[in-house]
Amino acid sequence: MCLGIPGEVIELMAEHEDLAMVSVEGVKRAVNIGLLREDGVLDLAPGDWILIHVGFALSKIDEAEAKASLDFLTGLGDAYTEELEALAASDIT
Amino acid sequence: MTEDLLAESSKSQVQDLGPSIPTRANWAEEAVAAHAGAEHLTREEQVLARIAKARARKPKIKEKRITLSHGAGGKATQTLIEAVFLDAFRNPVLEQLEDGASLATAAGRLAFTTDSYVVSPLFFPGGDIGDLAVNGTVNDLAMCGSRPLYLSCGFILEEGFPVADLQRIVASMAAAAQAAGVQIVTGDTKVVERGKADGCYITTAGVGLLERPTVLSAAAAEPGDVVIVSGPIGDHGITVMLARGELDIEADIISDTAPLHELTANLLDATGDGVRLLRDATRGGVATICNEVAVASQVAVVLDESSVPVRPVVNGASELLGIDPLYVACEGRLVAVVAPDRADAAMAALTAHPLGAGAAVIGTVKDDPPGLVLLRTTFGGTRIVDLLVGDPLPRIC
Amino acid sequence: MKFVDEFRDAGTARVLATKIAALCEPGRHYKFMEVCGGHTHTIYKHGLEDYLPETVSLVHGPGCPVCVIPMGRVDDAIAIAEHDDVILTSFGDMMRVPGGRGSFFDSKAAGADIRMVYSPLDALKVARRNPDKRVVFMAIGFETTAPSTAMTVLRAAADGIENFSIFCNHVTIIPAIKAILDSPDLRLDGFIGPGHVSTVIGCRPYDFISAREGKPLVCAGFEPLDILQSVYQLLLQLGEGRCEVENQYSRVVPWDGNPKALQVIGEVMELRPHFEWRGLGFISQSALQVKAKYATFDAERIFNVPGVRVADPKACQCGEVLKGVLKPWECKVFGTACTPETPIGTCMVSSEGACAAYYNFGRFSRERVKEATHS
């Protein structure tokens, strides 16, 4: 029920101002983007990614934040490997 | 206004609303009473041991009415088969509960199977109910290790069903029969009033020749054996689900319905008596077959999630719908359990045939814990793959 | 899958696991509650607990909106469905939840027209296609789903659809968390905070948890690395003596939430004075009902709903499991009277319920499972 899936906006549909065609790994579905339209302004374009929940877009995925999250996660890995290498290279005797 | 909602909500408090006396759910009280006296266990291992025992007990059917779960191929179907049909018809052949019955006659050994087709919609990308009827029956015979020979088919038609649609279905059946090298030699037709048959239902029976001495059985798996699937899973189930049109989802995917008799023949020729079991992964999918093997052979089946072939589009649709591809039906894929020293020969035989091009080793058989299917997730964690309860995708085949 | 696969990488998980173990003080046991049913599901589906040290336990909370629906409300919905001209539409998870007389599934087998839908918009479509029927949508979910229901009602109003209504069972998350914090039986070190609910309400509503209650909270995404990272962040806070609300799911959750979503909820719905939660009792200001302005879309005003209260069987301990006080296997009826095939309580029937997750995915001694899969 919490099910929220990231999907890519393919097309903003002309017939209906609140609908966009969205693709999830090639599976296409019309999604209602009305919750992303505030005061008549919609900041959404094909190629953007959104979070889909029960047929509605709840949020636009912030790609910069996603990259930052991933960088943090892999960075942990780098720091770790660096530490291991440093440990291997050091000699305290 | 929106701030009000959050602000008010943060003032919530648990309340005692006084003496309104609630009624009780009798069915729940009875269910609890039926297990009364079962002493409360305090250690996790004891609870799990009790569950294992409970699951091994003789099945009893509790529902008063048939529900869609009974047709899903999972727990409810199994219980129905064992508690109602097996109980009434009991005989040693039926008790095997394989895809087809192996019959010894004076003329030689035959394989005999039956199937019904209620798929909705009747026509879908990649095929129709006619293709399913022929291929499905041929496949059950092939999974017994036999050479499929003859099919029967019975039609239950709804008043008002277009003759043109019937002709389309029958043409598909003729083409499928030719491709599979079988003949449809007898049949029956009934018509029921409008509203009673959803267009067309088809029932088949099939007979094949058991030319090889190999005996295939779900009870034959041994620790060390290898589990192989012949190609990407879930294509058929997802195709039919999307074709129903209720979900407004489009995807570039077609049913995988196909006759597997050549594939099985090649596999059996290449591996001799090294194949323990063949099953086509229909209702309930790969997960259900693995569970049947684990229980029948009292072994553990350990699957590796990253090795299971799934097309990205099937993955996407499954994520969107919240279902697991391991449980989704295929109509042209088989699962084989093979002795470890024949695994390479098996894979070579499968991948050499167009219908087996995507074959992959997806797991192994271990001796412990018996009766369970485990999954090593792509994430590196572990979980159990239990039998399905309920039906995520009704009327798939 | 983009934004999914990267957050499932096993290599990164192993590194994180080492970092997590390094942050644990020797001799100390940590208990973090993950509130969302979706988090419970992810943890078991991916076998995430294999990456956590023995000293860190994850406790499952009441954030499963199906799990908190009392039996009486299921009965009410069935009573509505039993009208000859009614089509009841519902999400799949609700279909097998047992009420006092059985589930939607049982009722369907007995002849009621009950259909599964993926979205409230699908329910509206059923209404358009069946003008001679009255279509009712069983609306469940926290603030994550309420905006979608509200938007659907607004669409129905705009298009003049007269045969559509909702049976509103939306609940709000803060009261659920407050009920946990007020519970005397539980000692928690921190919270893995709701993910998708926060997309709507933002992160500010959780401030009171760190400020007044002294527990850190990290809003977490739903991929396994998201949850591991959130555990890491919680341990970091505890180690550094901090107590804050942090947003790990920043790629999806805006700190201020979604103002439009909150606005549409506020337009169509209002808080009920009180609502009964399964296992938690009556909580004031914790659930939503349709405003008078949209009365023609309110199934409770259109139909005569029995409003019967059905008590949980005495042996049912869903309440304690929901509050994280009991582990699933500690419930007296777990695995005997209550199994996924024969569920007594909602924790066993919902795909996000702790008992179902444990029974279907996590059951069996973890050592044996690990041995079998890693050898």
Q: What is the mean pLDDT of chain A?
A: 82
Interface of B with A (CB under 8 A): 247-252, 312-313, 315-317, 319-320, 322
Q: Which residue of A has its CA nearest to B253?
A: A27
Asked whether the beta carbons of B157 and B195 are under 8 A apart, the reply is no
pLDDT at B18: 55
Segments of B255-326 assigned E as strands:
275-280, 300-304
- With CB atoms and an 8 Å threshold, state whether A29 touches B312: no
CA R_g for chain A: 20
Q: Is the pLDDT of residue C330 over 90?
A: no
CA–CA distance, C45 with C33 (Å, rounded to integer): 18
Higher-pLDDT residue of C67, B192:
B192
Tell me what the mean pLDDT of segment C211-230 comes to: 93
- Asked if the Cβ–Cβ distance from A66 to C251 is below 8 Å, we say yes
**Distance (Å) from the alpha carbon of B172 to chain C's nearest alpha carbon:** 32
By C-alpha distance, the chain C residue nearest B320 is: C118
**Cross-chain residue pair A55–C4, CB shorter than 8 Å:** no
Please indicate if any CB of chain A lies within 8 Å of the CB of C266.
Answer: no
b or e along A22-53 (b: 16 or more beta carbons within 10 Å of the residue's beta carbon)? bbbbbbbbbbbbbbbeeeeebeeeeebbbbbb
Candidate from C140, C254, C258 with C-beta closest to A35 = C258
Long-range contacts of A63-72 (CB under 8 A, 24+ apart): A63/C251, A65/C250, A65/C251, A66/C3, A66/C251, A68/C250, A69/C7, A69/C229, A69/C248, A69/C250, A69/C251, A70/C6, A70/C7, A72/C229
- What per-residue confidence (pLDDT) applies to B17? 61
Cβ distance of B322 and A52 shorter than 8 Å = no
Q: Closest to C37 (Cβ–Cβ): which among A2, A36, A80?
A: A2
> Which of C271, C309, C372 is the closest to B366 by Cβ?
C372
pLDDT one-digit tens code per residue, A49-72? 999 998 999 999 998 888 888 888
Give the residue from B304, B315, B377, B307 showing the smallest Cα distance to C46: B377
Chain B and chain C share a number of CB contacts under 8 A equal to 244
Query: Subunits touching B (CB < 8 Å, at least 3 pairs)?
Result: A, C
**Which of B2, B79, B382 is facing C373, going by the closest CB pair?**
B382
* 8 A C-beta contact, residue B370 and residue B57: no
Better pLDDT: B258 or B387: B258
pLDDT per residue as tens digits for the range B279-324: 999 988 999 999 999 999 999 999 999 999 999 999 988 887 778 8
* Phi, psi (rounded to 5 degrees) for C167: -105, 100
pLDDT confidence tier of residue B9, bands split at 50, 70 and 90? confident
Chains adjacent to C (≥3 CB pairs closer than 8 angstroms): A, B
- The rounded distance, in Å, linking the Cα atoms of C193 and C16 is 19
Mutation site for C-interface testing, chosen from B1, B2, B79 by largest number of C Cβ within 10 Å: B2
Instruction: Tell me the C-alpha to C-alpha distance, in Å, between residue C112 and each of B217, C3, C106.
Output: 42, 41, 9
Q: What is the pLDDT of residue B388?
A: 79
Per-residue pLDDT band at B336 (split at 50, 70, 90): very high
pLDDT per position as a tens digit, A9-60: 999 988 887 999 999 878 888 999 999 998 888 889 999 999 999 899 999 9
Q: Quick one: pLDDT at residue B10?
A: 72
pLDDT tops 50 at residue B176: yes
Instruction: Look at residue B21 and tell me whether its pLDDT is greater than 70.
Output: no
Burial B335-362 (b: 16+ CB within 10 A, else e): bbbbbeebbebbbebbeebebbebbbbb
The answer to whether A92 contacts chain C (CB < 8 Å) is no
Name the band, by pLDDT with cuts 50, 70 and 90, for residue A92: low
Cβ of A80 and C248 within 8 Å? Answer: no
Do B382 and C224 form a contact (C-beta atoms < 8 A)?
Answer: no
Q: Is C235 helix (H, G, I), strand (E, B) or coil?
A: helix
Distance separating alpha carbons of residues B351 and B221, to the nearest angstrom: 23
Cβ count near C82 (within 10 Å): 15
Mean pLDDT along residues B349-363: 97
Determine the distance in angstroms separating the CA of B202 from the nearest CA of chain A, rounded to an integer.
Answer: 31
Q: Which residues of A touch C41 (CB under 8 A)?
A: 2
Nearest-Cα distance to chain B for C367, in Å, is: 10
Amino acid at B176: A
pLDDT winner (highest mean) among C98-107, C157-166, C352-361: C157-166
DSSP string, C163-220: SEEEEEEEB-HHHHHHHHHT-TT---SEEEE-SHHHHHH-SGGGHHHHHTT---EEE-
pLDDT digits (tens, 9 = 90+) for C133-168: 999 999 999 999 999 999 999 999 999 999 999 999
* pLDDT score, position C251: 93
Closest residue in A to B320 (Cα–Cα) = A5
Alpha helix ranges (H) inside chain A: 63-89
Does residue C200 sit at the A interface (CB-CB below 8 Å)?
Answer: yes
pLDDT above 90 covers what percent of chain B? Answer: 57
Starting from the edge strand earliest in sequence, which strands make up the sheet with C164-170, in order? C114-116, C86-90, C134-141, C164-170
CB-CB under 8 Å, B32 with C315 = yes
Of C10, C271, C335, the CB nearest to B50: C335
Residues of C whose CB is below 8 A from B375: 47, 373
CB spacing of C151 vs A6 below 8 angstroms: no
**pLDDT score of B278:** 96
Span C247-270, average pLDDT: 95
- Asked if B6's CB is within 8 angstroms of C266's CB, the reply is no
- Taking only the tens place, the pLDDT of each residue in B39-52 is 666 677 777 777 77
- Whether the predicted pLDDT of C349 surpasses 90: no
* Higher pLDDT pick, C137 / B214: C137
Instruction: Measure in Å the smallest separation between the Cα of A87 and chain B Cα atoms.
Output: 27
Q: Which two tokens stand for residue B330?
A: 């295929």
- Asked if the model's pLDDT at residue B147 lies above 90, the reply is yes
B243-289 residue pLDDT tens? 987 777 888 899 999 999 999 999 999 998 899 999 999 988 999 99
Of residues C295 and B378, the one with the higher pLDDT is C295
Q: Please determine, for residue A80, whether its predicted confidence score (pLDDT) is greater than 80.
A: no
Do the bridges between strand A49-53 and strand A56-60 make them parallel or antiparallel, or are there none, so unpaired?
antiparallel
Give the pLDDT confidence score for residue B392 in this predicted structure: 61
User: Whole-angstrom Cα distance, residue B56 to residue C218?
Assistant: 43
pLDDT at B395 over 70: no
pLDDT score for B1? 44
Instruction: Answer yes or no: do A5 and B312 touch at CB < 8 A.
Output: no
| C-beta atoms of C352 and A74 within 8 A | no
Mark yes or no for CB contact A28/B320 under 8 Å.
no
Complex-level ipTM: 0.89
- C38 and chain A: CB distance < 8 Å anywhere? yes
Of C11, C64, C199, the CB nearest to A59: C199
Average of pLDDT values for C218-240? 95
Give the model confidence (pLDDT) of C171-198 as tens digits. 999 998 988 888 877 789 999 999 999 9
Q: What is the mean pLDDT of chain B?
A: 88
Query: C297 vs B38, which has greater pLDDT?
Result: C297
User: Could you give the CA distance from residue B63 to residue B195 in angstroms, rounded to a whole number?
Assistant: 26
Q: Global pTM?
A: 0.86
Nearest-Cα distance to chain B for A45, in Å, is 21
Is A7 in contact with A22 (CB distance < 8 Å)?
yes
